[in-house]
A = this chain, B = another copy of it.
């Protein structure tokens, strides 16, 4: 499992997950992204929204993980204390970040709302951190590099977290991950309903963490089912990515044939 990939930790801040009222889908989404980018996700840790707990886990990650992503606890309320925890873990203090303040100011201005003290609190970042723009909500994120570890803090609202990660974090982190080549192949399967092949595709997907497998139903689900199945594989070289995609396509073909489907391969 350990192939010398840079390590990533995910720290989810949220009492709601610790009381079992929310399933940690943010962590699953980030874990898939980071794995696909070439990181080895070594820990997913859920902590109470208290700075001491957040700092305890971040300190363990320093110098060990190349990147730590925290989610949650960036909002304007009294129990949003993630950045206090981040600052504490690296023995720095929180400071009003001018860029973050400008982001928050603009967010509320556009909505005709005042910049209250609660709202300004969202512009307090750990000393030395950069603000990450939030295209969806009010709270900026934080990017801080210390002792060779990048600590990225994103909000807990999935739509905000995902937009910020994809627009501002993923492109920068890609430079830290081993260079990856991508290759995509597709296959059309006729005569097998999506629900029939889904469990097999799931099993194949689990076997190959460095590939995305998606199926798109085209015909009628049970009457004349047609499925367009796409495989996007990532590997250190173009050749390896292509051969990985081909191997997966071959497995899908075998499965579909076994289920009585007709398979039409695209040139790969």
Instruction: Kindly report which residue of chain B lies nearest to residue A79, judged by CB atoms.
Output: B1
Q: Are B23 and A44 closer than 8 Å at their CB atoms?
A: no
**How far does the alpha carbon of A23 sit from the alpha carbon of B206 in the complex, in Å?**
12
Q: Are A44 and B42 closer than 8 Å at their CB atoms?
A: no
- Band of interface residues on A: 20 to 34
- Stretch in A47-55, A67-75, A95-103 touching the partner: A47-55
Q: Are B43 and A17 closer than 8 Å at their CB atoms?
A: no
Interface residues of A in 97-134 (CB under 8 A from B): none
- Residue of B20, B28, B205 touching A32 (CB-CB under 8 A): B20
Given known contacts A20-B32, A206-B21, A44 and B41 CB-to-CB distance under 8 angstroms: no
Q: Are B43 and A32 closer than 8 Å at their CB atoms?
A: no
Given known contacts A23-B24, A24-B24, A25-B23, A18 and B46 CB-to-CB distance under 8 angstroms: no
A33 proximity list for chain B (CB < 8 A): 20
- Residue of B25, B41, B47, B48 touching A18 (CB-CB under 8 A): B41
A15 CB within 8 Å of chain B: yes
A34 proximity list for chain B (CB < 8 A): 20
Q: Are A206 and B16 closer than 8 Å at their CB atoms?
A: yes
**How far does the alpha carbon of A25 sit from the alpha carbon of B25 in the complex, in Å?**
9
